[in-house]
Structure 1
Amino acid sequence: MADEKLNDNVRAVERALDILMAFTASDFELTASELLKRVALSRPTLYRLLGTLQQSGFITSTGEPQRFRLGSSVAHLAHVWASRQDIHYLAQPMLRRLWDATGETVSLFITQEGKRLCVAEIPSAHPLSLRRGIGYQETLILGAGGRAILAFDDQPRHDIEELLRAADITPAEHHNKLAWIREHGYAVSRDELMVGATSVAAPFFGGGGRVEGAMCVYGPGARLNDEKVEEIARLLMRECELLSAALGFRRPDAVTAKQ
């Protein structure tokens, strides 16, 4: 009997979590009917769990018919979670796996004041290697890391034309490069910021859906041929997906439908 009661309690918790995870940034307010399409629950069970969640502040409701949204208790947990997040710390397993798999220098960049800032780096052990160093900053329009971020950044930038002129890049060339990155999911640069250097980068995203930065792998072009670049790109995109998930990013089409 005790085991059965424990199992029932665990299942109730799982169902309550399914309800909370049914909300997204675009679907932040849902009716009971809309919730039933996202969670595998009967209507009486749904209303019973919604009542419990409302009592504890995790759900609130307004209007007629009722429309439910996440409550202040969720905001409290989000604040606690966000205050302890350190992208550098979260990214360490991903960076280490990339370093082990490629043998090249691996870096983590975040956006800061319209530039990209290196906040973590694991240098290659090869005698001939390239590195930037923690604290290195660069404009977003140059290099694979910058363009990997810029290609998915929806924030308006009023200095782009000036930066392109300074870098001797035409707007058409710039837009074509960003379009290619959006199509393929990663960026590549050769001999751009450093002669003989090749860089491969992919973006990662935060809980709000915005691009937060990029992971980069770079080394001498003599080692990073086209085949190697494609292999590194696949590894980068996989690790960036894992980091994005760790930061709370959920794809717009992700819905909860546990049985």
Structure 2
Amino acid sequence: MTKTKETVQSVDRAVDLLYCFSLNKPELTVNDFVNKTGLNRTTVFRLLTSLKEKGLIVKNEEEGVYRLSLAFVGFGQIVAENLDIRKESLPELKKLSSLTNETVSLNVLQSNRRVCVEKVDGSEDIRQFVKLGYPYPLVRGASGKVLLAHCEENVIEEVIQEWKEMNGDEFDSASFLKELQDIRNAGYCLSKNDRVLGAYSISTPIFNMQKELIGGLSISGLAMRLTEEKEEMFISNAINGAKEISKKMGYIS
């Protein structure tokens, strides 16, 4: 945890103790806290007693272990019910659009389509047009593919089947499934001249505290502007941007 001159040492240390808990270690002994924080036993015991009296942790007297109290369930519910992905994403979209001069958008899954729910237009004279609220297909373009890549297998099969029935074109399912696997492994998707001729899109997934996909961030523009240098930089920008939004939505890597 980052320390600043304005922090109160006792509060700082108590919070450090709370951060010792994890999914892998939901119950801890005094020795565990000492080893994790480097604090002496007397200080740890005093802080644990204060946290226990405030109802933030509970102690199993028989086993001598501590765990977080149900108070954190209530805190989590307050946070979860007030998280708005559009609101949390907008500052990052503005930042990325300013960095890249391109259009940056936030897309979500809706009825086997991807829908843009927020965007910041780029400053270039000729820019990629993204329509808010319009249901775009998932099988064309990076913005759709990055969402589909993180869907359940039955959803992916359903989307592919629907695409075949509606378009009647030849579709290499095996190759497409391999592409989705590559997207999951890479952590991003890059498309050029896919859904729109002459356009590119770089898209990255956004996750919530349950590690579930809740959206995707996309940087898009004219393919002719995307040099190798820009491509590398924009991919990094998009990955970091999605990570920041995911963090705001409660995701812990």
Q: 2:160 aligns with which of 147, 157, 164?
A: 164
Work out whether residues 148 and 186 of structure 1, in 8 Å CA contact, stay in contact via their aligned partners in 2.
yes
Deviations 1:43-91 (A, max 9, x none): 3322222222122221123374233322122222222222322222222
Q: Report the Cα distance in structure 1 between the residues aligned to 2:198 and 2:205, rounded to whole angstroms.
A: 23
Deviations 1:166-224 (A, max 9, x none): 25543432333233323432211122222222110112222233332211011121222
- Residue 202 of structure 1 pairs with residue 200 of structure 2: no
Q: Which residue of 1 aligns with 2:60?
A: 62
Q: Report the Cα distance in structure 1 between the residues aligned to 2:69 and 2:137, rounded to whole angstroms.
A: 40
Q: Report the Cα distance in structure 2 between the residues aligned to 1:60 and 1:136, rounded to whole angstroms.
A: 50
- Kindly indicate whether structure 1 or structure 2 has the higher relative contact order, using CA contacts under 8 Å at least 6 residues apart: 1
Q: Which residue of 2 aligns with 1:186?
A: 188
Q: Which residue of 1 aligns with 2:36?
A: 38
Deviations 1:106-126 (A, max 9, x none): 101234455433221112233
Q: Which residue of 2 aligns with 1:255?
A: none
For structure 1, the 5+ residue unaligned runs are: 1-6, 252-259
Q: Which residue of 2 aligns with 1:256?
A: none
Please give the residue correspondences for 1:37-186 in structure 2 after superposition, counting only pairs within 5 Å. 37-62=35-60, 64-151=62-149, 153=150, 156-165=152-161, 166-167=163-164, 168-186=170-188
Query: For this pair of structures, how many residues does the alignment match?
Result: 242
Over the aligned positions, Cα root-mean-square deviation in angstroms equals 2.6
Residue 33 to residue 213, structure 1, CA distance change in 2 (3 Å): farther
* 2:217 aligned partner, one-letter code: M
Q: Report the Cα distance in structure 2 between the residues aligned to 1:106 and 1:175, rounded to whole angstroms.
A: 26
Q: Which residue of 2 aligns with 1:4?
A: none
Residue 161 to residue 233, structure 1, CA distance change in 2 (3 Å): same
Q: Report the Cα distance in structure 2 between the residues aligned to 1:135 and 1:58, rounded to whole angstroms.
A: 43
Q: Normalization by structure 1: what TM-score?
A: 0.80
Q: Report the Cα distance in structure 2 between the residues aligned to 1:217 and 1:109, rounded to whole angstroms.
A: 11
* 2:92 aligned partner, one-letter code: M
For structure 2, the 5+ residue unaligned runs are: 165-169
Q: Normalization by structure 2: what TM-score?
A: 0.82
Structure 1 residue matching 2:225: 3-state secondary structure: coil
* 1:198 aligned partner, one-letter code: Y
